[in-house]
Chain A
Amino acid sequence: KNQVEQSPQSLIILEGKNCTLQCNYTVSPFSNLRWYKQDTGRGPVSLTIMTFSENTKSNGRYTATLDADTKQSSLHITASQLSDSASYICVVSLVSGGSYIPTFGRGTSLIVHP
């Protein structure tokens, strides 16, 4: 069964600190992996997208890594800000009959305290 597992389920950190969110997947065949940020009451917003051959991708203070061999990804947030408080969702897409079917993780809820 294709699954995407994220950890931790929730995380509380102080403003200015760094944090790392984890994503393990069993999706196969793998097409790409995306990290999304979802604010409360809003739709997910794309942070990074990586294909099989990419190991790291940065977007400002967000850096995603991918190890396709161990099927693990991480999202590192540097110098956290209050506005980083949100749910972070890992999405892995598989290739199936010419289509790309996304499998979502349940997300990590991040709270940044002042």
Chain B
Amino acid sequence: EAGVTQFPSHSVIEKGQTVTLRCDPISGHDNLYWYRRVMGKEIKFLLHFVKESKQDESGMPNNRFLAERTGGTYSTLKVQPAELEDSGVYFCASSQGSMKDEQFFGPGTRLTVL
């Protein structure tokens, strides 16, 4: 069974540009989460989808970030326009049940904003 996959693995963009990250959860997992790790800091929660609905987006840093989950399958996280402080590793995770259940993480997308 395939795990959580993320694309791209790395992205280097200039300040002001737009970047879209994609996450494909494990098939059948209704719950999908986005996290971010900024250099030298801990991983932080961004938001939680249940199927196509946003259950909790309290961790989204500002309105330059837009997450979608069309049809309750894969999810995208768009950053527009990107700023230098957006650099970091963006992780996606999925779980079968609620947030109390084990979450399976993807390998992450390393975003560098120059």
Residues of A in contact with B (beta carbons under 8 Å apart): 4, 31-32, 41-46, 49, 89, 93, 96, 99-107
Contacts and interface: CB of A to CB of B under 8 A. Distances in A.
A107 B103 CA distance: 18
A104 B44 contact: yes
B100 A100 contact: yes
Contact of A46 (B55, B91, B102): B102
Contacts of B41: 106
Interface in B41-77: 41-45, 48, 55-56, 58-59
A41 B107 contact: yes
A43 B99 contact: no
A101 B42 contact: no
Contacts of B104: 46
A107 B106 contact: no
Contact of A102 (B4, B45, B98, B102): B45
A44 B105 contact: yes
Contacts of B59: 101
Nearest to B101: A49
B93 interface: yes
Contacts of B100: 31-32, 93, 100
A44 B43 CA distance: 10
A43 B106 contact: yes
Given A102-B45, A104-B43, 6 more contacts: A4-B42, A43-B93, A49-B102, A101-B58, A102-B99, A106-B41
A93 B99 contact: yes
Residue from the set B104, B105, B107 with the largest chain A CB neighbour count within 10 Å: B105
Contact of B42 (A41, A46, A96, A105): A105
Given A99-B55, A104-B44, A106-B41, A43 B91 contact: yes
B25 interface: no
Interface string B79-104: 00000000000010100001110111
